[in-house]
Structure formats: structure tokens, C-alpha cells
């Protein structure tokens, strides 16, 4: 989870919110929550872009 928070540049609460909303993919491995890095990248790509001058 720690690396996912760094990669996503969001906090733990936001990460679990995104998991609940199925915007990023997570799974359990033993007692750890693992987050799929590709799903974080896909989430970032889905965000609206800011156009210069707006």
C-alpha cells in the first residue's frame, strides 16, 4: 500500500475510497493490501485535463 500511495500521490483514505468505487484495483496477499500499479496509472489517465488559458 505504501508504494501505491506514493505512486498515486494520494493518502490512505483516498486510496480506499478509490478501491471502493472500483477506480483502482486492489487485492489481498496474506495480510497486506496490494494495489495494481497499472490501475493507478489508468485512473490518472482518466482524470480531466486542464487546458491552458481556462
Instruction: Judge whether 27 lies within some domain.
Output: yes
Q: How many independent structural domains does the chain possess?
A: 1
**Domain extent for 19:** 2-46
Please say if the pLDDT value at position 54 is more than 80. no
Q: Quick one: pLDDT band at residue 15, thresholds 50, 70, 90?
A: very high
Its pTM stands at: 0.82
Please say if the pLDDT value at position 11 is more than 90. yes
Instruction: Judge whether 52 lies within some domain.
Output: no
CA 7 vs CA 11, 25, 52, 53, 54: distances in Å: 11, 14, 25, 28, 28
Instruction: Judge whether 51 lies within some domain.
Output: no
- Report the percentage of the chain scoring pLDDT > 70: 98
Q: What would the pLDDT profile of 29-38 be if each residue is shown by its tens digit?
A: 999 999 999 9
Amino acid at each position: 500500500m505504501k508504494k501505491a500511495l506514493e505512486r498515486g500521490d494520494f493518502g490512505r483514505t483516498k486510496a480506499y475510497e478509490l478501491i471502493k468505487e472500483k477506480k483502482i484495483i486492489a487485492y489481498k496477499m496474506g495480510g497486506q493490501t496490494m494495489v495494481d500499479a497499472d490501475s493507478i496509472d489508468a485512473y490518472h489517465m482518466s482524470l480531466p485535463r486542464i487546458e491552458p488559458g481556462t
